[in-house]
Amino acid sequence: MDIKLQQVSYAYSKGTPFEKYALHDVELSIASGTYEAIIGHTGSGKSTILQHFNGLLKPSSGTVHIGDRVVEAGKKAKELKPIRQKVGIVFQFPEHQLFEETVLKDIMFGPMNFGVSEKDAEKRARELITLVGLPDNILEKSPFDLSGGQMRRVAIAGVLAMEPEVIVLDEPTAGLDPRGQKEIMDLFYTLHKEKGLTTILVTHSMEDAARYADRIAIMHEGKCVLTGEPRALFADSATLAKYRLEPPRVVRFQHKVEQMIGKKLSKVCLIEEELAEELGQAIREGRAEQ
């Protein structure tokens, strides 16, 4: 499902003394099947943009295309329910999307709301709870009697249970333990590849953006100021700095190494494995020359 924002502006509390524009004329196209990362400093408008992807927020001006649906400022949007099913959002604060009495009911709610039978919904919930790294017995607990990271995992299971075509993730790893961060990001990536999903990741982790995304969009003060491929984008530290961002740790480390050896490697490496390979090769070539 393609997603396209044209000239989208959004004001919170529009028409009141508290009116506040959080988005200004945002242009953004995300082609079906893309893994898109959206990065930007605190308050740049990332969470606001995300909520336009399933019609949760309607633009104050401009147009949002979600597949064949159009959400336009000033017009009443047609039936958005099918969109809510196809576009699943994992919110920045998991508490905002948990509400049932038990974890099991919470995960089953979405699918059943969209017509999946109770039996199938329960089956999905039981499979997913393991997939997000939680023990079965947590299904009977109240989602509010969980630790922060456990809540996050339940919220993720709830969205996956809907089997969406587009997965929108707002800081999905905040609160997860380090191993969980890696496992959950790998899980999203596997689903992305296997099911041909469109995945949109809002993150402060430049490392995750570099590792997983096909494309990156930079938000700055309510505008989408730059889009591009990770390698080109993260090679340009000066531009990133303008938006109060910096390249991933591995790229910064590469710069340090290059400075030390007084020579550039053949490319900017986005992940640790790649840098190890490049450096290994550079060192072997250096030895051969001697």
Tokens representing residue 128 in the block: 């997913």
Q: Is residue 149 a contact point for other proteins (CB under 8 A)?
A: yes
217's enclosing H/E stretch is: strand 215-220
Nearer to other proteins, 16 or 76 (CB): 16
Nearer to ligand ATP, 161 or 218 (CB): 218
Query: What are the Cα distances from residue 103, in Å, to 21, 53, 157, 214?
Result: 36, 26, 10, 34
Name which position in 181, 198, 211, 226 contacts other proteins (CB under 8 A). Answer: 181
Q: Is residue 149 a contact point for ligand ATP (CB under 6 A)?
A: yes
Q: Is residue 148 a contact point for ligand ATP (CB under 6 A)?
A: yes
Q: DSSP H helical segments within 80-164, as ranges?
A: 81-86, 103-113, 118-131, 148-160
Query: Residue 171 gets which letter from DSSP?
Result: S
Residue type, 63: T
Query: Residue 79 gets which letter from DSSP?
Result: -
Assign 55 to helix, strand or coil. coil
Which residues ranging from 198 to 257 are in contact with other proteins (CB under 8 A)?
204, 206, 244-246, 249-250, 253, 256-257
Tokens representing residue 168 in the block: 């929108």
**Residue 150 C-beta: closest distance to other proteins, Å:** 5
Tokens representing residue 274 in the block: 């790649």
Name which position in 5, 37, 47, 159 contacts ligand ATP (CB under 6 A). Answer: 47
Nearer to other proteins, 96 or 195 (CB): 96
Name which position in 34, 44, 173, 199 contacts ligand ATP (CB under 6 A). Answer: 44
Residue pair 219/49 in contact (Cβ under 8 Å)? The answer is: yes
Q: Is residue 182 a contact point for other proteins (CB under 8 A)?
A: yes
Q: Is residue 60 a contact point for Mg ion (CB under 5 A)?
A: no
Per CB under 5 A, residues contacting Mg ion are 47, 92, 147-148
